C-alpha cells in the first residue's frame, strides 16, 4: 500500500493485499510480516466506519483520500454529482475549492498512515 497515493481503495489496495499475504502463510520475510500487521491494524481502526465494503463480517469505508488530494477530490465529486460543469470556465473559476473541500471534510474522519493523513466516510 502506497501512503503517497491520492486515493487508497480499501478493497483493492488493503483487503486484497491482506488476503494475498495470508495465503502465503507462513510468512518468512520480516517486511511482509510488518506489512501484514500494519494492514490489519489499519483495518481494525477502520472497522465499522463506513458501509461500502464488507469483508470478514465487518463493514469498511470504500476509500481513503490523501489530505494533499482532498481539494481535487472535492472538485471531482462536485463535477461527478452534476453540481458544476467541468467544461465550463464560469462559475468554476469563481469557486473557492479550498473552502468547498473544508466544508466537505466535516462529513469525513481522518486516519494516519505513516504520518500521512487520509480522509474517509
Q: Using DSSP, state whether 82 is helix, strand or coil.
A: coil
Q: Total domain count for the chain?
A: 1
42 lies in a domain?
Answer: yes
What are the Cα distances from residue 48, in Å, to 15, 61, 78, 94?
15, 8, 26, 38
Q: Could you tell me which residue, 110 or 84, shows the higher pLDDT?
A: 110
Is residue 110 one of the residues assigned to a domain? yes
- pTM for the structure as a whole: 0.88
Residue 1 located in a structural domain: no
**Which residues span the domain enclosing 50?**
7-120
Asked if residue 2 belongs to a domain, the reply is no
Read off the pLDDT band of 50 (50, 70, 90).
confident
Distances, alpha carbon 63 to alpha carbons 15, 47, 48, 98, 118, in Å: 12, 13, 14, 21, 9
For residue 89, is it within any domain?
yes
pLDDT tens digits for 54-93? 999 999 999 999 999 999 999 999 999 989 887 888 888 8
- Is there a domain that residue 105 lies in? yes
Q: With DSSP H G I counted as helix, E B as strand and the rest as coil, what are the percentages for the chain, rounded to 5?
A: 50, 20, 30
Q: With cut-offs at 50, 70 and 90, classify the pLDDT of residue 23.
A: very high
Query: Is residue 36 included in any domain, yes or no?
Result: yes
Within a domain: 47: yes
Q: 33 by DSSP, 3-state: which?
A: helix
Amino acid at each position: 500500500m502506497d501512503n503517497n497515493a491520492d486515493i487508497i481503495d480499501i478493497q483493492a489496495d488493503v483487503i486484497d493485499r491482506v488476503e494475498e499475504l495470508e495465503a502465503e502463510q507462513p510468512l518468512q520475510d520480516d517486511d511482509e510480516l510488518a506489512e501484514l500487521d500494519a494492514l490489519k491494524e489499519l483495518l481494525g481502526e477502520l472497522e465499522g466506519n463506513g458501509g461500502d465494503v464488507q469483508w470478514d463480517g465487518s463493514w469498511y469505508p470504500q476509500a481513503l483520500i490523501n489530505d494533499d488530494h482532498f481539494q481535487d477530490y472535492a472538485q471531482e465529486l462536485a463535477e461527478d454529482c452534476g453540481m458544476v460543469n467541468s467544461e465550463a470556465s464560469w462559475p468554476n473559476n469563481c469557486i473557492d475549492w479550498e473552502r468547498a473541500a473544508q466544508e466537505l471534510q466535516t462529513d469525513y474522519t481522518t486516519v494516519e498512515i505513516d504520518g500521512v493523513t487520509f480522509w474517509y466516510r
